[in-house]
Amino acid sequence: MAGVSKAEPEAETELVKDSHSREEKQGLTLGAQVTDKGVRFRCWAPRAARVDVVLEGRNVIHALSKQADGYWTGLVPEASAGMQYRYRLDGGQAYPAPCSRFQPEGPHGPSLIVDPGAYTWHDDRWPGVAMHGQVIYELHIGTFTPEGTFEAAIERLDGLKEIGITVIEVMPVAEFPGRWNWGYDGVGLYASAHVYGDANSFKRFVDEAHRRGLGVILDVVYNHLGPDGNYLPTFSAEYFTDRYPNEWGQAINFDGPGSGPVRDFFIQNACYWIREYHVDGLRLDAVHAFHDASPVHVVAELSQAARQAAGPRSIILVAECEAQWVQTIQPLAKGGWGLDGVWSEDFHHTVRVAATGRSEGYYNDYRGTPQEFISCVKRAFLYQGQRYQWQGKPRGTVVSEEPAEGFVFFLQNHDQIANQLWGDRLHQKVSPSVYRALTALLLLAPETPLLFMGQEFAASSPFLFFTDFPPGQLANDIHQGRKQFLSQFPSYASSAAQDAIGDPSAPAMFERSKLDWTERERHAGIVALHRDLLRLRREDDVIAQQRRDRVDGAVIGPSAFLLRYAGQHGDNRLLLVNLGPDLDFRPAPEPLLAPPSGRMWTFRWSSDAPSYGGPGVIEPLTETGWKIPGGAAFLYAALDDTSKDTGKTPAMASPHEEESR
């Protein structure tokens, strides 16, 4: 056949041997690896009788050699970076590569040969990030800017740095079908989506973030693949299994027959993003849907491999786990999975019920009481094995000595905003005063806070569920599935509400979700609130401890509570949060309101400051006790009692409106 080449096995072995040093630096053993002698290809197709590499437009078809365990490999001297290729199975149709580094025409098109060594990095001295002290900012590249690209997102990094963000969490960027998508329908797991830029755009974004002192972690989806453009089953039926349920499609085969190469595929993917893109860690989507009965859970194996891939850099690995398994962040040596953080849905759900007064759907098991807030801050999870009425079974695991920084708190995220009829944000559901008070709680709690893009300036744009599948059965099924999902909320189950649920494939769903950055200037007060609170969080020695075991709390009213942070030698902090009406707490039979011996409470900060859009500060502490304004948060510090020298009593410390500027 014209154009067909096949190197002899002996010659091929020598060529591969000559290029080992370069490939070891690359780390990835799957896909197309550029060497000094050409390009080495390797894929897993255990049931194929023949696998060829087809170079697009080159009239070159190269037969690969079969190795053990169903792998096929071969070095193609004619191939080089910049060329496009596909794999042809058994002389039939040709398909994009499972481990393609880039898909210029989308998931159905040819794969691009990319030389990762061609990009020049500028972050040699970047040490990486550890979990303590981080403030995470979740964003979706397609809607973060009007342009929806990595290059445009770079222009916004300085603004994030300025308010106090330390780590950017990028929603999934794996190649997906269509012009826009949340990213959780990814199918080309090794390819950064071409709609966001070229093959190096994500690298430039990470590089520029590091130059500004910002970390970047990537949201990855290893519990399912999207419904369109997934060619993995074409190469092997062992990638997926029906032995476990999965609400998003077939479950990944992590523990059944043929699962070894499957595990390797996903673990190498995690290492790939860390090694080749220099990301500072990963957010693992829905780890409760990782079904694995192996002696070593795949997440534990992944966490160990990812840290090895990072080398001397420190990375953070964070899990979304609806089941709230604390083993996600327990050490490998103790049978845990060795991750650094796990999302706390309980905190969000309590916030939502307290703010809106509604506990329907999956908010059914929350009351939004002050005690729930205190318990969340002190215990991280509210449900640690109790029966969960909504699911009809126990939920959660016991939290013991795990550090506060290992639990991620948020007022909202991509899911929780979109899982509503209108995709509106929390500040649009509550009074500005309550929103400011909740923001103070989030940013001063010892747990790791996460903000969703635009939250820092009270963005008016919704975040809706959007896809871009062509009209047809799949698009219709997704629309109907969205209606069914939202019907778990009785208010969204009515016929009128169901009719109002937008079609995810409608372009307007994507366009309306884009941020309007002019609001950052127009909403300067809420930006200042976030900036000042984050400055307090990192500069106040007591708050910055992030110690659950040094925080106590008490309920002081139907919608009011306090948190007391213990510092060294009586250097305490007192955070008062009142989400309800004015509270006259006189007398004050609560010992946590008493200042430490030899000290007095001194006013530090209030969410009512006019610079935040507040009505003005009325200090709660009076000569006769505590009168706490409604919808507000206040921070006090326990300073040395100088009343004997000044003639003032501790209760008469002068109020002021300093905002820690």
Question: Catalytic residue numbers?
Answer: 285, 320
The enclosing H or E element of 536 equals: helix 524-539
As a whole number of angstroms, the distance between CA 358 and CA 349 comes to: 10
Q: What angle do CA 475, 480, 481 make, to 5 degrees?
A: 95
Asked if residues 219 and 169 have their Cβ atoms less than 8 Å apart, the reply is yes
From first CA to last CA, the distance across the chain in angstroms is 75
Which amino acid is located at 209 in the chain? A
As a whole number of angstroms, the distance between CA 286 and CA 309 comes to: 23
Structure tokens at 560: 């009011």
As a whole number of angstroms, the distance between CA 476 and CA 473 comes to: 5
Beta strands in 127-214 (DSSP E): 136-139, 167-170, 174-175, 188-192
**Cβ neighbours of 401 (radius 10 Å):** 7
Q: What angle do CA 449, 455, 458 make, to 5 degrees?
A: 145
As a whole number of angstroms, the distance between CA 523 and CA 512 comes to: 19
As a whole number of angstroms, the distance between CA 565 and CA 549 comes to: 9
As a whole number of angstroms, the distance between CA 279 and CA 291 comes to: 26
As a whole number of angstroms, the distance between CA 107 and CA 28 comes to: 20
Structure tokens at 7: 């190197």
In DSSP terms, which residues pair with 552 in a beta bridge?
A: 564
Structure tokens at 67: 């190795």
The enclosing H or E element of 151 equals: helix 150-154
As a whole number of angstroms, the distance between CA 369 and CA 560 comes to: 9
Asked if residues 232 and 239 have their Cβ atoms less than 8 Å apart, the reply is yes
| H helix count then E strand count, the chain | 20, 32
Q: What angle do CA 345, 348, 350 make, to 5 degrees?
A: 105
Q: What is the largest CA-CA distance in the chain?
A: 101
Asked if residues 339 and 302 have their Cβ atoms less than 8 Å apart, the reply is no
Cis before residue 227, ω within 30 degrees of 0?
A: no
In DSSP terms, which residues pair with 578 in a beta bridge?
A: 560, 632
As a whole number of angstroms, the distance between CA 308 and CA 314 comes to: 10
Q: What is the DSSP string of 47-85?
A: T-S-EEEEETTTTEEEEPEE-GGGEEEEEETT--TT-EE
C-alpha closest to that of 208 among 278, 267, 138: 278
Which residues, including other chains, have CB under 8 Å from residue 219's CB and lie 6 or more apart?
A: 138, 169, 170, 171, 172, 183, 282, 283, 285
| Radius of gyration over every alpha carbon of the chain, rounded to an integer in angstroms | 27
Structure tokens at 125: 């001295």
C-alpha closest to that of 377 among 561, 529, 142: 561
DSSP tag of 130: -
